[in-house]
Amino acid sequence: MTDVRGRVKAFLAERDPATTDRLDFLRARFDAGLAWVHFPEGLGGLGLPRAQQELVEAELAAAGAPDNDPRRIGIGLGMAAPTILAFGSDELKQRLLRPLWTGEEVWCQLFSEPGAGSDLAALGTRARRDGDDWLVTGQKVWTSSAHTARWAILVTRTDPDVPKHAGMTYFVCDMTDPGVEVRPLRQITGEAEFNEVFLTDVRIPDAHRLGEVGDGWRVAQTTLMNERVAIGGRSIPREGGMIGVVSDTWRANPDRRTPEAHDRLLKLWVEAEALRLAGIRLRQQLANGAPGPEGSAMKLAFARLAQELSGLELEITDDGLRYDDWTLRRPDMVDFTGRDAGYRYLRAKGNSIEGGTSEILRNIIAERVLGLPSEPRVDKDVAWKDLPK
Amino acid sequence: MSDPNLLTSDVEEALRAGVRELLADKADAATVLGRVESSTPSDLDLWRTLVDLGATSLPIPESLGGQGVSWREAAVVAEELGRAVAPVPFLGTMLATAALLTLSDDPHAQDALKRMASGESVVVLAIPLSGPVDGPLARTVRSVADAGVADQFLVPADGGLHLVEAASVQPVVSLDLTRPVWDVTFDDPGVRLTGSGESAVDSALLAGSALLAAEQVGIAEWCLTTTVAYLKQRYQFGRPVGSFQALKHRLADLWQSIVLARAAALNAADALATSNDDVRVAVAVAQSLCSTVAVRAAEECVQLHGGIGMTWEHPAHLYLKRAKADELALGTPGRHRAALASLVNLPG
């Protein structure tokens, strides 16, 4: 039995966060097994229950340790790392996990395509075997961080003659390969958080394959499951986030108040508070080792609340007809609080689309949580190449 | 402010299992339906068993013959009673219990709590269930829940709380068959208890509202579970009705709102149990949300059962009536939001 708290204290005794270089500190933390304690020893962890991580984070935060900027490197941490751990060779794990965790190498994910969003298994990016390598050609879309990423997780079609779920294969893609072209995808807000990624004969060694040939769907499920598990470490305070911004706008603008807007605001305030409490409850379940499916409920509720709140904010703000800035920017992450109400209104529209649309999420809840039967499928026994596109 | 405890303990789950088993045995839908159509709508045999189980004396201190635990446990009981729409005088007596606990220096109040804990008598707070409760009380109080089985009443009057026997208790035709209301008339001033009647009623409304939120979660969950089961078994157009996306989405949304309602109800019960400064906000949030969610769940239950949902034989209507009555009880969602507006500085 490892005493995690003791380990953290011993680690801190050797490295004072105040005087140690940030990267040196993070690398040493990884090597000490304190990056993600549920990972195996030698790969940044100690093989302990995931719940113990919270204790490590708390101890290190209290000591003023630098963090590895999980928001910017969320795709690597939440999606790539667990998949590499489950399906990668030892060489791949040794090469990739440490710089991933320290943030020295940023990751993106090449899943969605113009014709395969919610229906991921419809994707058509082809990978053909060429000796010890694969040659990949196709187009991906909605790729956050592609312009800063060193690596990508990539799902491709390797066999078009079998039903769509059976002919996919999963890879780690080197974003510096000359066949990779990244173009900013300007969105509704004027900025470009996302990219289109064009792949033309990108050469990927077979050693960078995760899972068996044709098993890409199952590997992708591992990635997506982990995306859904990832929730923030600390509970947010009351009126944290968008509800706080809108409540403050309300307080600051007595002239713009109407009884109708007041009732809407209060209803949303109640729901935002209940959502915050549901988050606390979910974290307490997680710490108890028994998380429930409530995370899906929270994502649905969050998207709806963000959209309704940001719509209300425009109505009660000083001059909702103005917009702060339409110039094309390339932000590292969504800036919900640093921008104006108009930006929040437009950006919130993405909350019910990104990371799985609310419609698909409702299907998943209905089938996996409530146990309702699935709709009849017309695509199950048909070769991918014969499906209408 | 530290985070509230929003998990239920093993002890609470054991209590839940015990109450649920008892209710499955003694308060199945057919029994409840038969009972509420009889001349004795409250099930006093079931009440007796709940008293013996200790389920009704949870917040009363051990020195007065109670269980001396907390309002969290009482909320677990309320949730299970809601799930079964059990016709027992739980809410009325809990309101009286909360009021008496604030006046427990008074020997008459102590005596009343002892008699309630042992099941010797049923004491009910004489307030109109659908409020408002801040005006001067008339000699006749309209729509008092659980009055039909009360031996004594706590009557707020002249700034104090009086322990009184009623001159008459008149049955009325109630919207909610499973928690009927009565009009109660008093002519004897009874015993005036020492202490502030206003703060006693205030405490009762807080406790009652938190318990009502738990009850509403129980109602909503029954409606969701029952509807899901029905939609899996009902075939139309050659498919289980539950495989149609339009219906799946409605049920997913309902489940999502119950997840939020549950967190809010647990928070209210925890705030009440820990005498938290935040209890007023917690209760206003829980009541505003849980009322709405329970009504929607019951309305969806009726609608998604189709014709069956409109029949007297199917229990859905019992839940709809209880849910709608609960929404009006102890303040509508709108009233709770109005209270919240001043608590969190969001003036209209």
How many percent of chain A have pLDDT more than 70? 98
Q: How confident is the model at residue A224 (pLDDT cuts 50, 70, 90)?
A: confident
Average pLDDT, chain A: 93
pLDDT tens readout for residues A258-276: 999 999 999 999 999 999 9
Contact B3 A361 (CB under 8 A): no
**How many CA atoms within 13 Å lie on the side-chain side of A282?**
25
**Within chain A, which residue ranges are assigned CATH 1.20.140.10?**
221-369
Q: Which residues of A touch B285 (CB under 8 A)?
A: 270, 273-274
Split at pLDDT 50, 70, 90, the class of A228 is: low
Query: What does DSSP say about strands B140-145 and B181-185: parallel, antiparallel, or unpaired?
Result: antiparallel
Q: Given this model, what pLDDT does residue B123 score?
A: 97
Token output for A204: 């990927």
Residue of B nearest to A262 (CA): B348
Note the pLDDT of residue B136: 58
Flag whether the ipTM exceeds 0.90: yes
pLDDT tens over chain B, length 348 residues: 689 999 999 999 999 999 999 999 999 999 999 998 888 899 999 999 999 999 999 999 999 999 999 999 999 999 999 999 999 999 999 999 999 999 999 999 999 999 999 999 999 999 999 876 555 566 899 999 999 999 999 999 888 999 999 889 999 999 999 999 999 999 888 999 999 999 999 999 999 999 999 999 999 999 999 999 999 999 999 999 999 999 999 999 999 999 999 999 999 999 999 988 899 999 999 999 999 999 999 999 999 999 999 999 999 999 999 999 999 999 999 999 999 999 999 999
Mean pLDDT lowest for which of A69-78, A141-150, A258-267, A297-306?
A: A69-78
Q: Does B163 lie at the interface with A, CB-CB under 8 angstroms?
A: no
| CA dist., res. B311 & res. B291, Å (int) | 24
Crossing angle for the helix pair B71-83 and B197-233, to the nearest 10 degrees = 40
CB contact under 8 A, A277 and B7: no
State the Cα torsion B230-B234-B237-B238 to the nearest 10°.
120
The two three-digit tokens of residue A47, written as one number? 């093989």
- What tens digit of pLDDT does each residue of A15-28 get? 999 999 999 999 99
Which residues in chain A have their CB less than 8 angstroms from residue B260's CB?
A: 271, 274-275, 277-278, 297, 301
Which CATH entry fits the domain spanning A221-369: 3.40.50.1100, 3.30.43.10, 3.50.50.60, 1.20.140.10? 1.20.140.10
Report the candidate in B320, B321, B81 with the shortest Cα–Cα distance to residue B181: B321
Buried (b) or exposed (e) across A201-217, using 16+ Cβ within 10 A?
ebebeeebbbbebebbb
Q: Which helix (H) or strand (E) holds B296?
A: helix B279-304
List the single residue in A254, A270, A296 with the smallest CB-CB distance to B285. A270
Q: Is residue A54 flagged as an active site residue?
A: no
Q: Give alpha helix (H) positions in chain A.
A: 4-14, 22-31, 53-62, 74-75, 81-87, 90-102, 216-229, 242-252, 259-287, 294-316, 341-348, 358-364
B318 C-beta neighbours (distance < 10 Å), count: 23
CB B212 within 8 A of CB B99: no
What's the confidence (pLDDT) of residue A1?
45
Chosen from A238, A248, A273 to mutate, greatest number of chain B CBs within 10 A: A273
To the nearest whole Å, the CA of A363 is away from the closest chain B CA by 7
Q: What are phi and psi of B84, to 5 degrees?
A: -105, 5
Q: Quick check: A280 and B3 CB within 8 A?
A: yes
Write the pLDDT tens digit of every residue in A71-80. 788 899 999 9
CB contact residues (below 8 A), chain A span 200-259, against chain B = 235, 238-239, 247, 250-251, 254, 257, 259
Give pLDDT, residue A221: 93
User: From A267, which residue of chain B is nearest by alpha-carbon distance?
Assistant: B337
Residue A2 pLDDT class (50, 70, 90 cuts): low
Per-residue pLDDT of A81-103, as tens digits, reads: 999 999 999 999 999 999 999 99
When scoring A239, A281, A309 by the number of chain B Cβ atoms within 10 A, the one with the most, hence best to mutate, is: A281
**Token digits of residue B48:** 């007796």
pLDDT tens digits along A322-356: 999 999 999 877 788 889 999 999 999 999 998 88
Chain A residue nearest residue B241, CA to CA: A373
| Eight-state DSSP code of residue B157 | E
Enumerate the β-bridge partners of residue B163: B154, B191
Q: Which of A227, A239, A294, A354 is catalytic?
A: A227
**Would you state the pLDDT for residue B189?**
84
Average pLDDT of span A187-197:
95
Between the ranges A117-121, A228-232, B269-273, where is the mean pLDDT highest?
B269-273
Amino acid A334: pLDDT: 79
Question: Nearest residue on chain A to B249, judged by CA atoms?
Answer: A362
CA A290, chain centre distance (Å): 22
Tell me the three state secondary structure of residue B42.
Answer: coil
Domains, chain B: 199-343 (1.20.140.10)
pLDDT at position A163, please? 96
Chain B contacts in chain A segment 351-370 (CB below 8 A) = 359, 361-363, 365-367, 369-370
Distances (CA, A) of A305 to A246, A247, A263: 12, 13, 15
